[in-house]
Amino acid sequence: MANSRYEYVKAFERENYLLPDTFIVIRVDGKGFHKFSQHYRFDKPNDLRALGVMNRAALKVMQKYSDVLMAYGDSDEYSFLLRRKCELYERREMKLCTLFASLMSTYYMFYWNLEFSEKSIEEDMVPTFDARAVVYPNFQVVRDYFSWRQVDCHINNLYNTAFWNLVKLGLTPQESEQRLMGTVSSDKNEILFKECGINYNNELEIFKKGTILVRELKDYTRKVDLSSRQKQREEKSRRKAEIKQYHVDIINDDSWWESRLWLNE
């Protein structure tokens, strides 16, 4: 950048560098997706095609940046796990948040046009996302974070499944909300089974447990104090690794985590 007498304005800029040697989770959320889903007439309580658009967008983000080892998503939300040694954009918080939010917005739009060619995106109702970055000190906290998001997925989906099926039976949204007020999980399951003829256990796993994307590294062995050349080889290995999709209960599955030690690198 050329020097000029106006360059002093750069002194007002501030950067927030995320703590080194910590795990970074970037959570991307749809902005105003309640209105967005209404406008484009999503299937209720879940729109499988719209979830597919989210998953394809998140997968593209992971393919673009090998530092992303895992991602978890449900509804209009996705959480991306960046490896502990990640140096993407020098760990600048604003850069990372704007990057992931803009990528998800762009890729969502792209894959929406492929999946919903009959529902063209309108100028005043475009899909947009915001993002936040949080650092976690150890892998146990990271595990608890993803468990929290998966529990949230289950709680929200059980409520929405009961709510919208009551509406389909003829209740107004206000009546459905009143009917479910104060109920616990067992109550909602009973309402679905006895009043709606639905066994919640038979609902698709993607609705109940969300979607997990994992960069599956082969023949992984933990290494320390890598040389620059070794780091380049590791980065190449991550970039070439297959990214697989799962819909599993990660909360209670220790073996699932233990078989993927590279997530704790």
| pLDDT given for residue 222 in this prediction | 75
Radius of gyration of the chain from its Cα atoms, rounded to whole angstroms: 21
Q: Is residue 170 part of a domain?
A: no
Mean pLDDT of 166-184: 96
Mean pLDDT of 114-138: 95
Domain residue limits at 66: 15-150+205-264
Q: Is residue 229 part of a domain?
A: yes
33 is in an annotated binding site: yes
32 is in an annotated binding site: yes
- Which CATH number fits the domain that encloses residue 39? 3.30.70.3000
With both helix axes pointing from N to C terminus, report the angle between 173-180 and 139-168 in degrees, rounded to the nearest 10. 130
Q: Is residue 5 part of a domain?
A: no
Q: Is residue 177 part of a domain?
A: no
1: confidence class by pLDDT, cuts 50, 70, 90: low
Residue 90 · residue 113 · CB < 8 Å: no
Mean pLDDT of 69-81: 97
31 is in an annotated binding site: yes
Q: Which residues contact 223 (CB under 8 A, 6 or more apart)?
A: 230, 234
Task: For residues 165 and 161, give the distance between their C-alpha atoms in angstroms, rounded to a whole number.
Answer: 6
Q: Is residue 169 part of a domain?
A: no
12 is in an annotated binding site: no
pLDDT at 192 > cutoff 70: yes
| pLDDT given for residue 245 in this prediction | 97
Domain count, the chain: 1
- Please give the structure tokens belonging to residue 108: 């969502």
Helix (H, G, I), strand (E, B) or coil at 113: helix
30 is in an annotated binding site: yes
- Give 70's strand partners: 81, 214
253 is in an annotated binding site: no
Mean per-residue pLDDT over the chain, rounded: 94
- Give 216's strand partners: 242
Q: What percent of the chain has pLDDT over 90?
A: 83
Q: Is residue 130 part of a domain?
A: yes
Q: Report CA torsion sign: 181, 184, 185, 191.
A: negative
pLDDT digits (tens, 9 = 90+) for 199-252: 999 999 999 999 999 999 988 877 777 788 887 888 898 999 999 999 999 988
pLDDT digits (tens, 9 = 90+) for 77-122: 999 999 999 999 999 999 999 999 999 999 999 999 999 999 999 9
76 is in an annotated binding site: yes
- Please give the structure tokens belonging to residue 184: 């616990």
What angle (nearest 5°) sits at the alpha carbon of residue 48, between those of residues 46 and 51?
90
| pLDDT given for residue 88 in this prediction | 96
Task: Enter the DSSP assignment of 61.
Answer: H
| pLDDT given for residue 162 in this prediction | 97
| pLDDT given for residue 14 in this prediction | 85
Q: Is residue 197 part of a domain?
A: no
Q: Is residue 95 part of a domain?
A: yes
